[in-house]
């Protein structure tokens, strides 16, 4: 498949799979209410944090070393699955044996049944990341998308059937059954696990995992803090806005699903490095356009889409959209950091970011509340972007077209100001101007892209 067809296939699958969940939101919020929805988000945060440990950075390790000519790709993937089975299996068993303690530790104390369903679901999901990464490396986008849709559609149907009767427990049951269905659909894509490249995967995966935990402190752990310091209602409001900020940014995900496994092919020559830099800035420009659209139409949409008790989410959505824009920039301007086999720079950056996050969580949130936390979140992502860019350029200098990115961010800054001074007409003018500018800056690049992509 060609790169445009591959990205279009990824886009179709991701958009449909995520839209299914968002389309259920009005019913789920009504069935659960704002307090119980906050309890549900506590479980979502738990999944996010535990998945960092259970996957152990192995999908990233596969993508990093799969194109190394000295490493057999089949052996690498088989070794990654073997290591993942060991790590995720042991971790899941330990958590299962101490599920009561886990329940007491979590805000809102979710039911033991929900926690057990979550742990089993997460174990299966972790194993599925290996064949899914393998499909991406092989450019088998249709099969990858089919696995995503199999999970999303079956989970959505089961949520509709079970949640009105069982509440959060019903959502957890739906997740387990849907994950089993996806696991079976991928069974032929699983490699035979073998103890291969153990030290390489353990070293790289360990650094990525540690960095992932620190990144979770930077963005994710604040939701637990909101539940503890404020209340579950505030958490539900924040969670809804964050879901839409993340959902909008998923429009960029098809590009990432195609580009991230391929990007290290473009580092050997000056022309290849220029292309890698152009692709990174192009992704950041796309992110700025998505952010502008969210700020322009997102708040009004949420007030129409959700029950009244969730309308406060519309007020914080623009800030979260800007925060996600900077977060995405840090992931597309960091090739030098992830080229390192030991991932040392990624670890160092995340240590600094996590320390700043802890100051905000424990110092800012209790004293100044949610608005200050939101401002702190934007600052954190700007700090993270700056660190990744500076470190990456030291390790692998790339000729980024900086002017394009600066102009796009100035558009977004102007748009954010227009939103908070309540000037709807100006918001639309700025957004349309940004889109026109990006289209202009991408002109006459099709031949260049075609030439570079022929080598994939």
In the predicted model, is pLDDT for residue 340 greater than 70?
no
Q: Residue 415 contacts by C-beta under 8 Å, 6 or more apart in sequence?
A: 292, 295, 296, 427, 430, 431, 434
> What pLDDT is stored for residue 448 in this prediction?
55
The residue ranking higher by pLDDT, 374 or 258, is 374
For the ranges 43-57, 111-125, 178-192, 210-224, the lowest mean pLDDT is seen at: 210-224
From the list 399, 356, 397, the residue with the least C-alpha distance to 379 is: 356
> What pLDDT is stored for residue 75 in this prediction?
84
What is the rounded CA–CA span in Å between residue 137 and residue 63?
7
> What pLDDT is stored for residue 71 in this prediction?
78
In the predicted model, is pLDDT for residue 430 greater than 90?
yes
For the ranges 242-251, 350-359, 369-378, 391-400, the lowest mean pLDDT is seen at: 242-251
**Half-sphere exposure in the Cβ direction for 115 (13 Å, CA):** 23
The residue ranking higher by pLDDT, 193 or 326, is 326
Averaged pLDDT, 251-271: 74
In the predicted model, is pLDDT for residue 420 greater than 80?
yes
> What pLDDT is stored for residue 208 in this prediction?
80
What is the rounded CA–CA span in Å between residue 209 and residue 347?
9
Q: Tell me, yes or no, if the pTM score tops 0.85.
A: no
> What pLDDT is stored for residue 154 in this prediction?
94
Arithmetic mean of pLDDT over the chain: 86
Delimit the domains of the chain by residue range: 1-199, 219-456
pLDDT digits (tens, 9 = 90+) for 369-385: 889 999 999 999 999 99
In the predicted model, is pLDDT for residue 455 greater than 70?
no
Cβ atoms of residues 335 and 391 within 8 Å: no
What is the rounded CA–CA span in Å between residue 29 and residue 139?
37
pLDDT digits (tens, 9 = 90+) for 44-82: 888 888 999 898 888 888 877 776 777 777 888 888 899
In the predicted model, is pLDDT for residue 263 greater than 80?
no
In the predicted model, is pLDDT for residue 334 greater than 80?
yes
pLDDT digits (tens, 9 = 90+) for 106-163: 887 888 999 999 999 999 999 998 888 888 887 787 888 888 889 999 999 999 999 9
> What pLDDT is stored for residue 449 in this prediction?
56
> What pLDDT is stored for residue 175 in this prediction?
93
In the predicted model, is pLDDT for residue 339 greater than 80?
no
Neighbours of 252 (CB within 10 A): 22
| Angle CA 274–279–281, to nearest 5 | 95
Percent of the chain with pLDDT over 90: 35
The residue ranking higher by pLDDT, 113 or 258, is 113
83-87, 242-246, 448-452 — which one is most confidently predicted on average? 83-87
For the ranges 205-209, 256-260, 369-373, 394-398, the lowest mean pLDDT is seen at: 256-260
From the list 284, 298, 214, the residue with the least C-alpha distance to 248 is: 298
> What pLDDT is stored for residue 255 in this prediction?
77
In the predicted model, is pLDDT for residue 447 greater than 80?
no
> What pLDDT is stored for residue 451 in this prediction?
55
> What pLDDT is stored for residue 2 in this prediction?
59
- Residue 444: band (very low, low, confident or very high) from pLDDT cuts 50, 70, 90: low
Percent of the chain with pLDDT over 70: 93
Averaged pLDDT, 161-166: 92
> What pLDDT is stored for residue 64 in this prediction?
75
> What pLDDT is stored for residue 203 in this prediction?
83
> What pLDDT is stored for residue 453 in this prediction?
54
């Amino acid at each position: 498949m060609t790169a445009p067809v591959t990205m279009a296939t990824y886009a179709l699958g991701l958009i449909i799979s995520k839209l299914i969940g968002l389309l259920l939101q009005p019913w789920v919020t009504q069935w659960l209410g704002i307090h119980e929805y906050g309890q549900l988000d506590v479980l979502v945060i738990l999944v996010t944090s535990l998945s960092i440990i259970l996957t152990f950075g192995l999908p990233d390790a596969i993508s990093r070393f799969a194109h190394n000519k000295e490493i057999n790709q089949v052996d690498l993937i088989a070794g990654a699955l073997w290591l993942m089975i060991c790590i995720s299996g042991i971790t899941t068993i330990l958590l299962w044996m101490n599920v009561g303690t886990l329940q007491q530790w979590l805000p809102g104390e979710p039911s033991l049944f929900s926690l057990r369903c979550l742990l089993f679901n997460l174990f299966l999901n972790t194993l599925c990341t290996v064949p899914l990464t393998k499909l991406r490396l092989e450019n088998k986008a249709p099969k990858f998308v089919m696995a995503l849709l199999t999970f999303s559609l079956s989970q959505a149907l089961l949520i509709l059937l079970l949640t009105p009767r069982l509440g959060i427990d019903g959502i957890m049951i739906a997740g387990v059954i849907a994950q089993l269905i996806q696991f079976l659909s991928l069974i032929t894509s699983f490699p035979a696990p073998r103890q291969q490249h153990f030290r390489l995967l353990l070293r790289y995966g360990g650094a990525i995992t540690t960095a992932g935990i620190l990144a979770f402190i930077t963005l994710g752990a604040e939701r637990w803090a909101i539940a503890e310091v404020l209340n579950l209602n505030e958490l539900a409001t924040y969670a809804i806005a964050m879901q839409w900020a993340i959902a909008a940014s998923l429009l960029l995900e098809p590009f990432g699903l195609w580009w991230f496994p391929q990007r290290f092919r473009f580092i050997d020559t000056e022309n290849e490095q220029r292309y890698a830099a152009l692709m990174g800035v192009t992704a950041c420009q796309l992110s700025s356009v998505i952010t502008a659209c969210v700020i322009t139409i997102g708040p009004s949409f949420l007030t129409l889409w959700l029950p009244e008790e969730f309308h406060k989410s519309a007020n914080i959505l623009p800030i979260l959209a800007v925060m996600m824009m900077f977060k995405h920039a840090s992931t597309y301007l960091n090739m030098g950091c992830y080229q390192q086999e030991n991932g040392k720079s990624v670890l160092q950056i995340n240590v600094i970011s996590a320390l700043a996050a802890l100051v905000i969580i424990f110092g800012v949130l209790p004293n100044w509340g949610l608005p200050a936390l939101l401002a702190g979140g934007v600052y954190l992502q700007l700090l993270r972007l700056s660190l990744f860019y500076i470190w990456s350029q030291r390790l692998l200098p790339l000729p980024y077209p900086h002017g394009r990115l600066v102009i796009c961010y100035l558009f977004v800054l102007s748009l954010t100001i227009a939103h908070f001074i309540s000037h709807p007409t100006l918001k639309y003018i700025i957004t349309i101007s940004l889109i026109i500018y990006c289209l202009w800056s991408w002109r006459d690049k099709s031949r260049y892209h075609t030439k570079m992509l022929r080598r994939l």
